[in-house]
Amino acid sequence: MEPSPHSENPALDLNGKAEKLPAGKLHSAQYIVALILAVLITGLWRLQVLGADNFRALADANRIRKVPILAPRGRIFDREGRLLVDNYPSVSCYLLREQAKDVDLDLPLISRGLNIPIDQIQAILRHYQAAPKYQPIPLKQDITPDEQAFIEAHRNELPELETLDVQRRLYPRDGFAAHLIGYVGEVSEEMLNNPRYAFYDPGDVVGRSGVEETYDSVLRGTDGYKDVIVNSHGKELGHLGETLAIPGKDLRLTIDLDVQMAAEKALDGKVGAIVALDPHTGEVLAMASRPTFDPNEFSSHLTRSYWNGILDNPDHPLMNKAIQAQLAPGSTFKIIMSVAGLQEGVAQDMHVNCQGGASFYGHFYACDQHHGAVNIFNAIPYSCDTFFYTLANRLGIDTIAKYAVSLGLSQKTGVDLPDEATGTMPSTAWKLHAMHQPWYAGETISVGIGQGAVTVTPIQLARALGGIASGGVLHRPHVVFPDEVSPEELEAVHETFSGSGDKTIPLSPENWQIITDAMANVTGSPIGTAYAAHLDGIDFAGKTGTAQVMSHDALSRSGGGHNTLPNAWFVGMTPRRNPDIVVAVLWQHGNWGNNSARLAAQVIDAYVNKQRKRAGNVRELATAPLATKPTAPAASASPVNLPPAAE
């Protein structure tokens, strides 16, 4: 029997009629379809209508690139408006990681075109690995015209390479005033963790020392940017707009270029420092430190060989010895001893018979000569150790410390430069705190001649002796005129570089006259230790200091040598009372203080002659010995008129 034809279609009943779906199921299916359509329509509406602006911005980002316009730093001038630090136009190469599919594949070509070793590029990439991907990575500064041409010729192959016009620092050559001015460099990771650099980004250029660091926020300026239309290969097609950069503010320093040049020349080939101050105001007229460094090397293309040479130099070229060298002051400290002795009423009637030294507490302390009868009037020009041994023993360490501290020793002066050192002024409390030991009376004897535990910096000594010669009035040293910055910025500088500040100590007119006349005899009388440095027609006063770097026993075991010679100090001024300039000289291993006196005389002579010529309406123009700009397009320049300061 054949099957019924209707049995193969279950939707049909035995009579051939279609079976209908229940109405409830049909309505449910319709609701589901309608809901799905509603969801799709809503999604499309959100994407195409509500999200239109967002996607339009994303689309614009694919074709518009914000190119930064770096603000040039403010220039730096001396007190008379003569240029010390300038800028020059340069081109740098950056890598845009967003434009690169695989940077590693392009490294060989980039290395050849930019003349950078592959391992150096890889090190740069690792350094910026944690930085946001949109942040450009600086590959090379001061690129050559050939390297610029390479980048332009390979736009399609290397869309990740971009050039940027920048202004780079141009410093004086041969390290002229390098420690004072400082240098700029890329902000470090450690600095970025400091709240002071909260608004800086990796790769930003900031001041790293000297004036550049202290006044970075003033010199820095505000960067701008321009919107550039680019294609998928990063090629520039046009401009949409531009926000101009705001240059940094220029700064006028208190430095006198003529005095600075005299200091640099005097210190050439030596290890040490010279600092010149105007005691009336605290203005720093000159500050030189040797050995020095070339800040131009740091600001653009510091090489490993140059850096290693600095690190391996035992004389520490990066140290600003004018504010950081902490050494025994030798006999220059006798001026502070004289203040203490006279103000305490001890030194006026003290008489000593110097027979080449004296014994205290069972030990003989030598003097370099047999001076015979010595009093306060000839003890300073003689620089008689025996007199000041005796004075120290009578005063005691705490009385000496009281006057030394009042004159700014063992504390920062507050000069507006980073990393100033404090020095040390020993006392009973100091030794108990530092060594957990009592002070012994015998230790006071060496302190009386500026030896033992006492240490000072050249700027401390210049300020202290200049303050004494000014009748006890001391001012905070500074290298930038206060009116060059806003009151808020000036207050921030004073808070950051706190020190003893402006102060006045009691100093009777009689004692002031005794001390200043005695200092004038140091250079102006044949009995003075610095008579060989006297200046005809100039009221030149001062005090020498010869500070041993090791004991006599250690010296005899060492076998001698240049590094065993004493440090030579001198602090000089003109005129002797209420001086217009005070000069402190530290010549490490310079042997005798009168050697440093000759260096100070050169600076004093340059200052006085300039003032006299100016009074006669005769003015010699000086120019800072700026370095020659690198030979790059639009960056070459003729050398300046003056020879290098080292000559």
Positions marked active-site? 331
Nearest to 406 by CA among 509, 503, 498: 503
Q: CB of 318 within 8 A of CB of 310?
A: yes
Buried b (16+ CB within 10 A) or exposed e, 59-68: eeeeebbebe
Residue type, 464: A
Distance CA 227, CA 44 (A): 31
**357-360 and 363-366 strand pairing:** antiparallel
Residue type, 541: A
Joined tokens for residue 233: 């290969």
**272-278 and 283-290 strand pairing:** antiparallel
Q: What's CA 578's distance to the chain center, in Å?
A: 31
Q: CB of 72 within 8 A of CB of 184?
A: no
Distance CA 103, CA 126 (A): 12
DSSP 139-170: EESS--HHHHHHHHHTTTT-TTEEEEEEEEEE
Tallying the residues shown for the chain, one arrives at 647
Q: Helix, strand or coil for residue 489?
A: helix
Q: CB of 419 within 8 A of CB of 320?
A: yes
DSSP 8-state code for residue 282: T
Distance CA 441, CA 618 (A): 58
Rg (CA), the chain: 37
Q: CB of 421 within 8 A of CB of 326?
A: yes
Distance CA 393, CA 285 (A): 38
Count CA atoms within 13 Å of residue 565 on its CB side.
Answer: 15
Sequence-distant (6+) residues with CB within 8 A of 488 are none
Answer left, alpha or beta for residue 561, where phi above 0 means left and psi between -120 and 50 means alpha. left
